[in-house]
Amino acid sequence: MSTIIRIIDGIPRIVADEWEVLRPESAVASAYAYQIVPLAQFSSALDQGVASDIRAVWISPENDFEPLIAHLLSLEIIAVDFPSFRDGRGYSIATLLRTRYGWAGQLRAIGDVLRDQLNFMRRCGFDAFAIRPDKDIQDAMKSFGHYSVRYQGAADDPLPLFRRR
Amino acid sequence: MYQYDEYDEMVVKERVAEFRDQVSRRLSGALSEEEFLPLRLQNGLYMQKHAYMLRVAIPYGVLSASQVRMLAHIARKYDHGYGHFTTRQNIQYNWIKLEEAPDILEELATVQMHAIQTSGNCVRNITTEQFAGVAADEILDPRPLAEILRQWSTFNPEFAFLPRKFKIAISSSAEDRAAVRMHDIGVYLYRNDKGERVLRVFAGGGLGRTPILNSQVCEDLPWEHLLTYIEAILRVYNRYGRRDNKYKARIKILVKALGVEAFAAEVDKEWRHLQDGPATLTEQEYARVARYFAQDRYEVLGAHDSMLEKHLAENKRFSQWVKRNVRPHKVSGYATVTLSTKPGAAMPPGDVTADQLEHIATWAEEFGFGEVRIAHEQNVILPDVRLRDLYSLWLRAVDQRLATANVGLLTDIIACPGGDYCSLANARSLPVAAAIAQRFDDLDFLCDLGDLSLNISGCINACGHHHMGNIGVLGVDKDGEEWYQVTIGGSQGNESALGRVIGRAFRAEEMPDVIARLVETYCQLRLEDEPFSDTLLRVSPEPFKANVYRQAAAPNESIPCPR
C-alpha cells in the first residue's frame, strides 16, 4: 500500500492510502472499489446511468469539468492531475472547486506532484498530495513549513494580508 | 518610498531560507536540473554562457541610497565589479556562482530587496514610469497601486505556473512613459468626470516573436477592483492560454484567438464572481501604502536660480546636458535629473560599475532625499534635485562618466546583453551598440537631430524592445552567423506603434552605415523639427528603404548636417 500526504485538522501527515488512479492508457475494468477514474469515464457512466459505483474521479486540465459539477459534488474524492509540474492549470481548477462550487471533500493532487509545488497547491485548496513515487515523501513534508506570511487571499484563507494588517 | 514592515521582512527572509534549501538540493542532486529550472528562474537565476546571471528586482524602478550601495557591494563581492540595468527596471549580475546565490539574497534582504519572480512563467516585476511622483504631468502617483500589485503577485499560489511570463505596467501621466501598451496587462490610472480614481485596463500586449499592442478590456474600472479584475484576467489566461508552444503561450495569442470582445466578456464573467470579495481594495490600505510615497521634505524655493542661469549661459556642455537630461519637476525650484548609462562605445548600455553606484548613492543623499529611480531606458534618475545644485551635480557626474547629454538621442541606445552573455541570444548586441555609438560620437550633431530612439535585441525574445524603437535592430542567426534585421517606425508613449522590418538583414559591420543612411534619409525629408515617426508616416518607408539598400557607398561616408 502506498502513502500520500494529507492535511488533517490543519496538519500535514503522511498516511497510508489505498486509492488507485485509473489512467486511460491502462483502463482495464476492474471491480476494485478504491479507484479514482478519469472524468471521461465518469461522464459516460453518467450517460449510461451506471455511475453509482464510482466514488472518486480525477480531472485532467484538458477536461471541461464544470458542466458535470453537480455530479462531482456527490463523490468521495476529486483529484486533479498535473501532467507536468510546470502546468499550472490545476491550481485554478482547485481554486474553483473550493471557492466557487463549494467542494468540501478530499481534493487530491496527482501526477507530477513535487515538493516545491506543495505549498502553492495547499493554498489553492488541495488537502491530499500523491507525491511522485520516485521522490522522498518525508522530504516533501518540509514544503509546508517555509512560509508564515501570505500576502493574498486564496482558497485556504480568503482574507488578504491587507485586511489583517 | 515603501518601507517593509515585519510581514514584508518575513516574506523575504523565508524566501532566502527556501531558496538556500533548493540550491543545496540541486547541488546534492536531489533536484534534477529540469526540476530546478523553474525554481531558480522564479528567483531570477539564469544559466548563461559563462556563469549564472542573477536578476534582482527593483520594484517599479525605485531604490534608496542604501539599496544602491548594496548593489555596489554585490557587484564587487560576487560579480566582476559591475551590474546591468535592464529594460524592465531591474538590475542583473552576469558572473554569479550558484552556491553563492543564497548569500547574495541574504545580503539583499538586509536592505529590503529580493529577486522574487524576476523571471519564470509568473507575474514579473510591476513596472511604471521613472518620473512617478515628480512628473509635472502626473494625474496620480502610480506607485501605491504598483506596490499593492507587487504584494498581491508575490507567491500568488494560483499563478506561479502560468503558460508564460506575465508583465504588468501601470501609468498615470498625460504622457505614457511606462510603455503600458506593450504589456500583458497595462493599467492606466486616471480621474473620471466625478473626480473618482478609475482604471483603464488593457490586455494582450507583448513583444517577442509576435509583437502586439494590447487592447482595452475595461474603460473605467473603479480602482478598488484592481486586484479582483486582474485576478479574473489571470484566471482566464491560466486556464485557457496555450501551453503546447512556447511562442504561442503569451496572453496576447489568447486575446487574439478569442477576439478582444470575447476575451473581455470572459474576463467580465469571471470577475462577477470575485467582485466585491475580500480582495477588493480598501481606502485604508491605499492610504497605508500611499503615505510611504508622499514627499514632504521639499524646501520652498523660487522657480529660478541666478547661478544656474549664469552657468547655463557660460557653459555650452552644461547647458546641453540640462536641455537633454534635466526635466521640470512638479515642485518649484526642483528638477529631475537623468544620469545616462550610455557614455559611448566604451560601456555597454545600462552597465554601471560598483564605483559609479556608490557615487550615485552619495549624490542621491546630497542632492535629493536619498532616492534613485531606474528607467526602462536603462538610465538612472535622481528625482529631486534643487536647481541650485544642478551645476555641482553635473561636474561630479562628468567625472564619473554619467553625464553624457544624450537622453532620448540616437546614442541613448537601449540594448539587451545579447550573445556576449545570454544563452538565448542569436547574435551579440553590445558590439553593434558600440559601433553605432562610435559612429555617432558627435554630440552637437545628435542634439541637432533631436529625439530618436534606437533599440537592439540579440534575439526574438526582444529584451531590447526593438519593436518599440524608432529604429529597431534584431539579431538573427543564419547558418550559424550573426545577422541583424532592421525595423523602423516603432514608438512608445501615447502614440505607441510597432516597428516594421525594412528588408533583408545585415552583417554587424554594415550596421553603422545602415543607421547612418536611415538618419540621412530622415534629415533630408523631415520638415523642421518633425519627429522621426511623423516623417515616416508622411513619406512612407520607401525612401528609407531605397537609401539603405542602394549600392554600398564608399567607406566612411559622411552624414549631412541635420538642418
Beta-bridge partners for B476: B483
Question: Do residues B172 and B142 touch, judged by C-beta distance below 8 A?
Answer: yes
A158 → chain B, closest CA residue: B278
- Extract the C-alpha cell encoding A46: 453518467
Residue B342 is predicted with a pLDDT of: 97
Helices (H) then strands (E): counts for chain B: 18, 19
Residue B358 is predicted with a pLDDT of: 98
Same domain? B156 vs B283:
yes
For residues B430 and B259, give the distance between their C-alpha atoms in angstroms, rounded to a whole number.
39
| Closest Cβ–Cβ partner in B152, B235, B285 for A152 | B152
> Is there a domain that residue B339 lies in?
yes
Residue B169 has pLDDT above 50, yes or no: yes
Same domain? B153 vs B241:
yes
B232 → chain A, closest CA residue: A92
Question: Do residues B239 and B158 touch, judged by C-beta distance below 8 A?
Answer: no
For residues B206 and A18, give the distance between their C-alpha atoms in angstroms, rounded to a whole number.
48
Q: Provide the number of structural domains found in chain A.
A: 1
| Closest Cβ–Cβ partner in B21, B35, B238 for A89 | B238
Same domain? B147 vs B279:
yes
| Closest Cβ–Cβ partner in B11, B30, B38 for A149 | B11
For the segment B383-423, what is each residue's pLDDT rounded down to a tens digit? 999 999 999 999 999 999 999 999 999 999 999 999 999 99
> Is there a domain that residue B138 lies in?
no
Same domain? B347 vs B273:
no
For residues B437 and B420, give the distance between their C-alpha atoms in angstroms, rounded to a whole number.
18
For the segment B261-274, what is each residue's pLDDT rounded down to a tens digit? 999 999 999 999 99
Last residue of a domain, one of B109, B132, B152: B109
- Extract the C-alpha cell encoding B316: 555650452
B39 and A116 within 8 Å at the Cβ level: the answer is yes
Half-sphere exposure of B412 (CA within 13 A, CB side): 29
CATH code, domain carrying B331: 3.90.480.20
For residues B339 and B64, give the distance between their C-alpha atoms in angstroms, rounded to a whole number.
16
For residues A54 and A136, give the distance between their C-alpha atoms in angstroms, rounded to a whole number.
31
| HEC letters along B371-384 | EEEECCCCCEEEEE
| HEC letters along B52-121 | EEEEECCHHHEEEHHHHHHHHHHHHHHCCCEEEECCCCCEEEEEECHHHHHHHHHHHHCCCCCCCCCCCC
Same domain? B155 vs B281:
yes
Higher pLDDT, A33 or B167: B167
Same domain? B357 vs B420:
no
Residue numbers in A near B38 (CB within 8 A): 85-86
Confidence at A29, pLDDT banded by 50, 70, 90: low
For the segment B190-210, what is each residue's pLDDT rounded down to a tens digit? 999 999 999 999 999 999 989
For residue B366, the SS3 value is helix
**Widest Cα–Cα separation across chain B:** 69
Last residue of a domain, one of B260, B290, B320: B290
Residue numbers in B near A93 (CB within 8 A): 239
Residue B275 is predicted with a pLDDT of: 98
Q: Provide the number of structural domains found in chain B.
A: 4
For residue A58, the SS3 value is strand
> Is there a domain that residue B388 lies in?
yes
Residue B554 has pLDDT above 80, yes or no: no
Containing domain of residue A118, as a range? 2-163
Window 41-100 of A: residues touching B by CB (8 A cutoff) are 85-89, 91-93, 95, 100
> Is there a domain that residue B125 lies in?
no
Same domain? B285 vs B148:
yes
Residue A32 has pLDDT above 90, yes or no: no
Residue numbers in A near B30 (CB within 8 A): 136, 139
Tell me which of A87, A92, A162 to substitute to probe the interface with B (most B C-beta atoms closer than 10 Å).
A162
Same domain? B285 vs B149:
yes
Residue A14 is predicted with a pLDDT of: 98
- Extract the C-alpha cell encoding A52: 453509482
CATH code, domain carrying B485: 3.30.413.10
A88 and B162 within 8 Å at the Cβ level: the answer is yes
Residue B563 has pLDDT above 70, yes or no: no
Residue A26 has pLDDT above 80, yes or no: no
Containing domain of residue B443, as a range? 414-548
DSSP secondary structure of B23-41:
HHHHHHTSS-HHHHHHHHH
B21 and A149 within 8 Å at the Cβ level: the answer is no
For residue B146, the SS3 value is helix
B273 and A152 within 8 Å at the Cβ level: the answer is no
Closest by CA to B494, choosing from B199, B188, B209, is B188
A89 and B239 within 8 Å at the Cβ level: the answer is yes
Same domain? B152 vs B272:
yes
B121 → chain A, closest CA residue: A86
| Residue B327 neighbours by CB under 8 Å, 6+ apart | B131, B135, B136, B335, B336, B337, B338
> Is there a domain that residue B116 lies in?
no
Confidence at A27, pLDDT banded by 50, 70, 90: low
Same domain? B284 vs B333:
no
B285 and A89 within 8 Å at the Cβ level: the answer is no
Compute the average pLDDT of residues A104-125: 98
| Residue B555 neighbours by CB under 8 Å, 6+ apart | none
Residue B49 is predicted with a pLDDT of: 87
Same domain? B38 vs B98:
yes
For the segment B242-259, what is each residue's pLDDT rounded down to a tens digit? 999 999 999 999 999 999
Residue A30 is predicted with a pLDDT of: 67
In angstroms, the Cα distances linking B66 to A10, B139, B362 are 41, 29, 9
Question: Which one-letter DSSP state was computed for residue B369?
Answer: S
Closest by CA to B163, choosing from A84, A33, A55, is A84
Is 0.90 topped by the overall pTM? yes
Higher pLDDT, B306 or A30: B306
- Extract the C-alpha cell encoding B20: 538556500
- Extract the C-alpha cell encoding A114: 513535487
Last residue of a domain, one of B399, B429, B455: B399
**Widest Cα–Cα separation across chain A:** 54
Residue numbers in A near B159 (CB within 8 A): 88, 91
For the segment A69-113, what is each residue's pLDDT rounded down to a tens digit? 999 999 999 999 999 999 999 999 999 999 999 999 999 999 999
Residue numbers in B near A114 (CB within 8 A): 35
Run of H or E including B546: helix B542-548
Q: What angle do CA B125, A113, A116 make, to 5 degrees?
A: 40
B152 → chain A, closest CA residue: A152
